[in-house]
Amino acid sequence: QSVLTQPPSVSGAPGQRVTISCTGSSSNIGAGYDVHWYQQLPGTAPKLLIYGNSNRPSGVPDRFSGSKSGTSASLAISGLQPEDEADYYCQSYDSSLSGSGVFGGGTKLTVL
Protein backbone atom coordinates (compact mmCIF):
# COMPACT_ATOMS: atom_id res chain seq x y z
CA GLN A 1 0.00 0.00 0.00
CA SER A 2 1.58 3.26 -1.13
CA VAL A 3 1.59 6.35 1.10
CA LEU A 4 0.43 8.44 -1.87
CA THR A 5 -2.64 7.19 -3.76
CA GLN A 6 -2.91 7.29 -7.54
CA PRO A 7 -5.50 5.72 -9.84
CA PRO A 8 -4.08 2.51 -11.34
CA SER A 9 -4.99 3.54 -14.87
CA VAL A 10 -6.34 6.36 -17.01
CA SER A 11 -6.95 6.57 -20.72
CA GLY A 12 -7.72 9.08 -23.42
CA ALA A 13 -7.83 9.51 -27.17
CA PRO A 14 -5.16 11.42 -29.07
CA GLY A 15 -5.65 15.15 -28.67
CA GLN A 16 -7.66 14.83 -25.48
CA ARG A 17 -6.76 16.01 -21.98
CA VAL A 18 -6.33 13.66 -19.02
CA THR A 19 -5.52 14.24 -15.38
CA ILE A 20 -3.83 11.96 -12.86
CA SER A 21 -4.47 12.54 -9.18
CA CYS A 22 -2.09 11.97 -6.27
CA THR A 23 -3.79 11.92 -2.89
CA GLY A 24 -1.85 12.18 0.33
CA SER A 25 -2.46 13.32 3.89
CA SER A 26 -1.54 15.93 6.48
CA SER A 27 1.82 14.25 7.09
CA ASN A 28 3.05 14.46 3.49
CA ILE A 29 1.51 16.67 0.80
CA GLY A 30 -0.61 18.51 3.37
CA ALA A 31 2.48 19.16 5.50
CA GLY A 32 3.84 21.43 2.79
CA TYR A 33 6.22 19.08 1.00
CA ASP A 34 6.44 19.65 -2.73
CA VAL A 35 5.19 17.03 -5.17
CA HIS A 36 7.23 15.81 -8.13
CA TRP A 37 6.11 13.72 -11.09
CA TYR A 38 8.00 11.15 -13.15
CA GLN A 39 7.26 9.52 -16.49
CA GLN A 40 8.43 5.96 -17.06
CA LEU A 41 8.29 4.75 -20.64
CA PRO A 42 8.24 0.96 -21.11
CA GLY A 43 11.58 -0.65 -20.31
CA THR A 44 13.28 2.59 -19.28
CA ALA A 45 14.21 4.46 -16.12
CA PRO A 46 11.83 7.09 -14.75
CA LYS A 47 12.35 10.63 -16.00
CA LEU A 48 11.59 13.82 -14.06
CA LEU A 49 8.51 15.42 -15.61
CA ILE A 50 7.33 18.03 -13.10
CA TYR A 51 9.20 19.33 -10.03
CA GLY A 52 8.13 21.61 -7.21
CA ASN A 53 4.42 20.93 -7.88
CA SER A 54 4.21 22.79 -11.17
CA ASN A 55 7.63 23.37 -12.75
CA ARG A 56 8.81 21.70 -15.94
CA PRO A 57 12.47 20.77 -16.46
CA SER A 58 14.03 21.98 -19.67
CA GLY A 59 12.83 19.93 -22.62
CA VAL A 60 9.48 18.85 -21.17
CA PRO A 61 6.62 20.04 -23.40
CA ASP A 62 4.16 22.53 -21.97
CA ARG A 63 1.41 19.98 -22.62
CA PHE A 64 2.39 18.65 -19.20
CA SER A 65 1.34 20.66 -16.15
CA GLY A 66 1.12 20.08 -12.42
CA SER A 67 -0.77 21.55 -9.52
CA LYS A 68 -1.14 21.04 -5.78
CA SER A 69 -3.93 21.88 -3.38
CA GLY A 70 -4.31 20.82 0.23
CA THR A 71 -3.44 17.14 0.59
CA SER A 72 -3.56 16.36 -3.14
CA ALA A 73 -1.74 17.05 -6.37
CA SER A 74 -2.57 16.54 -10.02
CA LEU A 75 -0.76 16.01 -13.28
CA ALA A 76 -2.53 17.17 -16.42
CA ILE A 77 -1.60 16.14 -19.94
CA SER A 78 -3.25 18.01 -22.78
CA GLY A 79 -3.15 17.25 -26.49
CA LEU A 80 -2.48 13.56 -25.80
CA GLN A 81 0.01 11.91 -28.12
CA PRO A 82 0.71 8.20 -28.61
CA GLU A 83 4.20 8.64 -27.15
CA ASP A 84 2.67 9.78 -23.84
CA GLU A 85 1.64 6.18 -23.14
CA ALA A 86 3.65 5.38 -20.02
CA ASP A 87 3.53 4.94 -16.26
CA TYR A 88 3.41 8.11 -14.18
CA TYR A 89 4.49 8.40 -10.53
CA CYS A 90 4.10 11.17 -7.97
CA GLN A 91 6.72 11.63 -5.22
CA SER A 92 6.93 13.60 -2.01
CA TYR A 93 8.04 13.17 1.63
CA ASP A 94 6.34 12.11 4.84
CA SER A 95 6.98 13.60 8.26
CA SER A 96 5.51 10.57 10.04
CA LEU A 97 8.28 8.53 8.40
CA SER A 98 10.95 10.98 9.55
CA GLY A 99 11.07 12.75 6.21
CA SER A 100 11.44 9.62 4.10
CA GLY A 101 10.80 9.81 0.41
CA VAL A 102 7.44 8.37 -0.66
CA PHE A 103 5.95 7.50 -4.03
CA GLY A 104 2.49 6.95 -5.38
CA GLY A 105 1.69 3.50 -6.68
CA GLY A 106 1.87 4.67 -10.28
CA THR A 107 -0.73 5.28 -13.00
CA LYS A 108 -0.69 3.58 -16.38
CA LEU A 109 -1.75 5.99 -19.13
CA THR A 110 -3.19 4.36 -22.23
CA VAL A 111 -3.61 6.42 -25.39
CA LEU A 112 -6.56 4.87 -27.21
Residues that bind other proteins (CB under 8 A): 2, 33-34, 36, 38, 44-48, 51-52, 57, 89, 91, 93, 97-106
Of 88, 91, 75, residue with least CA distance to 35:
91
Least Å distance between CB 40 and other proteins? 8
Cβ proximity to other proteins: between 9 and 16 the closer is 9
Least Å distance between CB 7 and other proteins? 13
Chain CA centroid to CA 14, Å: 20
Phi, psi of 50 (to 5 degrees): -140, 135
Cβ proximity to other proteins: between 42 and 82 the closer is 42
How many angstroms separate the CA atoms of 101 and 11, rounded?
28
